[in-house]
Amino acid sequence: MKSLRIGDPADPATQLGPLVAQRQQRRVRNYIAEGQKEGARLVVGGTDLPDGIAHGWYVKPTLFADADNSMRIAREEIFGPVLTAIPYRDEDDAIAIANDSEYGLAGSVFTADHDRGVGIAGRVRTGTFGVNQGYTMDPFAPFGGVKASGYGRELGAEGIDGYTVTKSISIAATQ
């Protein structure tokens, strides 16, 4: 996370730009402060502006460890460059932790075993999922969350379905 190139989103070398608004920057910084207050260990990042950035709605990419699923940083959608690592006993425990959320927009798993990754993807309750990558939006595939992360789908044939009305017509046979 320390090696991410932070800067102007118009620069092709930039990997991470600013947040959408100052209020979102404040919101993400508050989550970071709350994570520390709740006892998660700040590994990298924090609430200061990234090195070399003097102004703007930027937030350092932040990683927390020693967290658990009861913490706000683990339970809420932050929508900022904050990652919370939660230890787990085994695959079933990891899936239970992932599913123990009121949200379900996207998820990812990284594994050397492709088939196992696909199996995990089928067990985690999210609207989108990436195996060995973050979710990559494809305009031909449906996009949307489950639970409190949304209802319905955008894009793909499923996105068009929301704008259609299906009608059944029954016609009596003529004699």
Question: What domains appear along the chain, each with residue ranges and CATH number?
Answer: 22-161 (3.40.309.10)
- In tens, the pLDDT along 23-57 reads 999 999 999 999 999 999 999 999 999 988 989 99
Rg (CA), the chain: 21
The pTM of the whole model exceeds 0.95 = no
Q: CA-CA distance, 87 to 65, in Å (whole number)?
A: 8
| Contacts with 88 (C-beta within 8 Å, 6 or more apart), sequence order | 94, 97
pLDDT-derived band of residue 18, with 50, 70 and 90 as boundaries? Answer: very high
User: CA nearest 147: which of 119, 162, 130, 127?
Assistant: 127
Residues 6+ away with beta carbon under 8 Å from 64: 35, 40, 41, 42, 43, 73, 82, 83, 84, 85
